[in-house]
Structure formats: C-alpha cells, structure tokens
C-alpha cells in the first residue's frame, strides 16, 4: 500500500501533466495524461458548467464530478475558498456570485495548476480572485476566513480525509458552510480496481463508502450534513473488464456495487 506522501506525489504528477494539455487532449485520455488507457475518459465523471454564470472555458479541464458552486448558497460579498482549485473553474463561477465586493481564494498543491489559474485570472482581469499553493491537509489560510468552502472531486484524493475536513472546519467562519462534490462508493470494489494508479488520480480508487465519508464530516464538528445531489457514475465496461472477473462485473452491474457522485452540504455551528 502506498504511503500518504507517495499518493500525493502521484496525484501531483498526473495533474501537472493534465495542466499542460488542452481540454480536448484531457478528454481523450483516461486520466488526462498518457497513462496508457486512452479509451476511458476523465469526463465520465464531469458535469457541464457551460450554463453557469461566470463560466470560463479556458479554466475548465473537465476534472470535476459535480457542480458544487450551483448548490453552495453563496451571496454577494462572501469570501469563498475553493479546495483543489485546478485551473480556476469553480473560483470564476463563484466570483460571478460574490461580485467585486467579495473574495475568492483557490488552493491547489500542483504548481503548474496554480500558475495556470493565476494566468486565467489575470486574463479575466479579476483582482479579488487569488490562488495559493498548498496542501488541503494543511490549508494556507487563516482560521475563520471563509463564509463558504467549495471543492470538486478533490477530497477523495486526499490521503488523510479526517485532517482535510478538520482544516475545512478551521478556515470556515462560525455559521459558514461548505458544498463539496466528491466520489463515494456503494459496496466494496475489487482490490485490483481500487489499486489502479490512473484510477486513483481519476477519483475512483481514493473513494470511501458513502456512510464513512459522511461520518468523517460529522466527526470534524459539522452540523446539518445534507446530500444535495447524488448520481451514479457509469464507468465504461472496458475499464471495469480489465480489473474484474465476469462474476464481479455481473455483481457490479447489478448495482450492488457502485461509484456515486455526491454533493454534500454542511455547516460550522456558531458558538
């Protein structure tokens, strides 16, 4: 089993490769980089942002698994933090809501992604959107800063989810909340499928059971934990067949096992 640091380095390497490719190239490969499985796309997870105000096509690398900003209950003047901001897609959507009086901070651990996001912000002329290099297990933001935290298909890439949600709690103001889209599991995936490195960076193998995921959030101190949206991810047969026996594939297709995108809301209580 890989250590937490090894997982982080693997994810950083893959997402750095993604940042240096076009959106079209990312869509034509299973993990957005040359991982040898071009028939499977990252975009099997993604949802369409094009209808949302503030959408910036250059910042959309089709890496998400939901639309957390659509459910985030942001308002004008809010300070919003995006964890795992990538090229800035959710940050720019958030900025369209919080306006010039608000503030948006994107955090990402991949240097190339941060550089790409900063370039996109400069091109758009936004002075109240900033991007910081940092680890979600140790977020480079002061306590009680954010009114709202969003994140899109990133938390399950973090080895220590307990620490990541504790950090999310720390940076939120009392009474603040988050809306996070992520991948969770229904039933146990075969070990070979979970261990596939390219799938880890594609948000599958790092996922945990839905009940366990919600439990991590509650243990961090959050209240009013609510699933705002849920949908089954339809993983192509060709990727499943490489890691499952025929019997396992039948069980998976029977829906006793599944990969699910959830968007979860939770609040940090006031004193």
Q: What is the largest CA-CA distance in the chain?
A: 57
Of 9-13, 62-66, 213-217, highest mean pLDDT: 213-217
Per-residue confidence band for 145, with pLDDT thresholds at 50, 70 and 90? very high
User: Residue 26: pLDDT above 60?
Assistant: no
What are the φ/ψ torsions at residue 116 (nearest 5 degrees)? Answer: -65, -45
Beta strands in the chain (DSSP E): 79-83, 103-108, 129-133, 146-152, 172-186, 208-209, 223-232, 258-267
Whether residue 139 contacts residue 171, with contact meaning beta carbons closer than 8 Å, is answered with: yes
User: Residue 236: pLDDT above 70?
Assistant: yes
Whole-number pLDDT of residue 193: 67
Whole-number pLDDT of residue 32: 39
Instruction: Give the C-alpha distances (Å, rounded to integers) separating 4 from 60, 167, 173.
Output: 27, 17, 29
Whole-number pLDDT of residue 192: 66
CA-to-CA distance for 177 and 172, rounded, in angstroms? 7
- 64-116 pLDDT tens trace: 889 999 999 999 999 999 999 999 999 999 999 999 999 999 999 999 999 99
Whether residue 87 contacts residue 117, with contact meaning beta carbons closer than 8 Å, is answered with: yes
Whole-number pLDDT of residue 252: 76
CA-to-CA distance for 47 and 71, rounded, in angstroms? 14
CATH classification of the domain holding 51: 3.40.50.150
User: Residue 140: pLDDT above 90?
Assistant: yes
CA-to-CA distance for 173 and 185, rounded, in angstroms? 30
Mean pLDDT of the region 32-54: 59
Q: Which residues contact 119 (CB under 8 A, 6 or more apart)?
A: none
Whole-number pLDDT of residue 188: 80
Q: When comparing pLDDT for 156 and 204, which is higher?
A: 156
- 180-205 pLDDT tens trace: 999 998 888 777 666 655 555 555 66
Per-residue confidence band for 224, with pLDDT thresholds at 50, 70 and 90? very high
User: Residue 30: pLDDT above 60?
Assistant: no
User: Residue 38: pLDDT above 60?
Assistant: no
144: left (phi over 0), alpha (psi -120 to 50) or beta: left
The total number of structural domains in the chain stands at: 1
Q: Which domain holds residue 34?
A: 4-267
Whole-number pLDDT of residue 122: 97
How many other CB atoms sit within 10 Å of the CB of residue 190? 16
Averaged pLDDT of the chain: 85
Burial (Cβ within 10 Å: 0-12, 13-18, ≥19) of residue 156? buried
Whole-number pLDDT of residue 205: 61
């Amino acid at each position: 089993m890989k250590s937490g640091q090894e997982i982080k380095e693997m994810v950083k390497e893959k997402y750095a490769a993604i940042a240096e490719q076009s959106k079209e190239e990312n869509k034509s490969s299973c993990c957005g980089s040359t991982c040898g499985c071009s028939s499977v796309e990252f975009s099997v997870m993604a949802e369409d942002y094009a209808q949302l105000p503030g959408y910036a096509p250059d910042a959309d690398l089709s890496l998400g698994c939901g639309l957390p900003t659509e459910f985030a209950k942001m308002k004008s003047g809010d300070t919003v933090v995006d964890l795992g901001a990538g090229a800035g897609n959710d940050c720019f959507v958030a900025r369209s809501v919080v306006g010039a009086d608000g503030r948006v901070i994107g955090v990402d651990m991949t240097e190339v992604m941060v550089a790409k996001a900063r370039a996109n912000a400069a091109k758009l002329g936004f002075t109240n959107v900033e991007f910081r290099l940092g680890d979600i297990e140790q977020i480079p933001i002061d306590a009680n800063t954010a009114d709202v935290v969003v994140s899109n298909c990133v938390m399950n890439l973090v080895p220590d989810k307990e620490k990541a949600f504790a950090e999310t709690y720390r940076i939120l103001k009392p009474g603040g909340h988050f809306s996070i889209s992520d991948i969770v599991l229904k039933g146990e995936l075969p070990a070979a499928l979970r261990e596939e490195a390219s799938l880890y960076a594609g948000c599958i193998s790092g996922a945990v059971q839905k009940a366990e995921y919600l439990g991590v959030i509650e243990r961090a101190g959050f209240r009013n934990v609510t699933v705002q949206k849920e949908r089954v991810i339809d993983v192509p047969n060709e990727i499943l067949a490489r890691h499952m026996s025929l019997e396992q594939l039948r069980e998976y297709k029977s829906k006793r096992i599944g990969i699910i995108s959830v968007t979860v809301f939770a609040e940090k209580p006031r004193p």
